[in-house]
Amino acid sequence: MTNSGQIWITRRLDDIIGTVEEAAGDIDTRDYPNFQSWMMDVFDSALNRLHDESYQSESNFLDKYSGILSAMEDMFKDQLEDFYLSEKDNEVINESSEIPIRLLRRGVELEKIGDIVEYQTEIQDPCDFEDEEDYSDFCILQGIHFYYCDEGYCDEDEDTEDYEGPSPAMVEVRDEVEQYIYDKYYDYLVGLYNEGDC
């Protein structure tokens, strides 16, 4: 049976979709300890953005409030949770990842290594590894070895025949590059392993 909150939401659905999207983009996930508290603030902010007369009239609205929040949760929870988790993943990746001075002009090259590391997370099953350290080390080292064309990693084939290897400048700063990639991706990869529930 449809309750008053669901009816209220349905009548304003197009507007609410827009305000929920705006609120989710504006409210920083880093300020919240968990998804539920962030989601509730997103909903409150979305409702405040409606400028709806019935919402502004508190006495008329309170009896519908819990039903409205429940209806919004039914409609938006899954999408908001996906967004929240992706933002949290990005936070982990970006923590401790300030680029050292010698690498500042190497952003494109660092991104190439990062792409290889990310590719490993798509093709490797975390449960095939002994523990989170083994998984994280493997993915990071694959990125580094393939980028630097270490022995056994750049045999000529259709995928690598056009790749000329790293520039002399990138070879010169290899130690800093490896440390940077570890700092940027290690905790992120540990998190992926733990999420695998192996």
Residue 1 has pLDDT above 70, yes or no: no
One domain for residues 116 and 80: no
Domain final position from 42, 72, 94: 94
Residue-wise pLDDT tens digits, 27-41: 988 888 899 999 999
Rounded Cα gap, residues 193 and 136, in angstroms: 8
Domain residue limits at 139? 101-195
Q: Stretch 122-127: mean pLDDT, rounded? A: 94
One domain for residues 186 and 106: yes
One domain for residues 89 and 121: no
Residue-wise pLDDT tens digits, 43-96: 888 888 876 555 555 555 566 777 788 888 888 888 888 888 877 766 655 554
| Res 50: pLDDT | 79
Residue 135 has pLDDT above 50, yes or no: yes
Number of domains in the chain: 2
Residue 173 has pLDDT above 50, yes or no: yes
One domain for residues 124 and 180: yes
Cβ-contact 24, 80 below 8 angstroms: yes
Residue 125 has pLDDT above 90, yes or no: yes
Q: Stretch 150-174: mean pLDDT, rounded? A: 75
One domain for residues 25 and 109: no
Looking at every residue in the chain, the average pLDDT score rounds to: 82
| Res 63: pLDDT | 62
For the chain, the residue count is 198
One domain for residues 125 and 56: no
One domain for residues 129 and 164: yes
One domain for residues 70 and 120: no
Q: Stretch 121-126: mean pLDDT, rounded? A: 95
One domain for residues 90 and 111: no
Map tokens 């008053």 to a residue.
Answer: 4
Q: Stretch 180-186: mean pLDDT, rounded? A: 93
Cβ-contact 140, 114 below 8 angstroms: no
| Res 158: pLDDT | 44
3-state SS assignment for residue 114: helix
One domain for residues 88 and 128: no
Domain final position from 69, 94, 119: 94
Rounded Cα gap, residues 82 and 38, in angstroms: 13
Q: Stretch 1-21: mean pLDDT, rounded? A: 77
The residue that leads in pLDDT, 20 or 158, is 20
One domain for residues 117 and 58: no
| Res 10: pLDDT | 80
Rounded Cα gap, residues 62 and 4, in angstroms: 11
One domain for residues 174 and 105: yes
Domain final position from 77, 94, 111: 94
| Res 18: pLDDT | 84
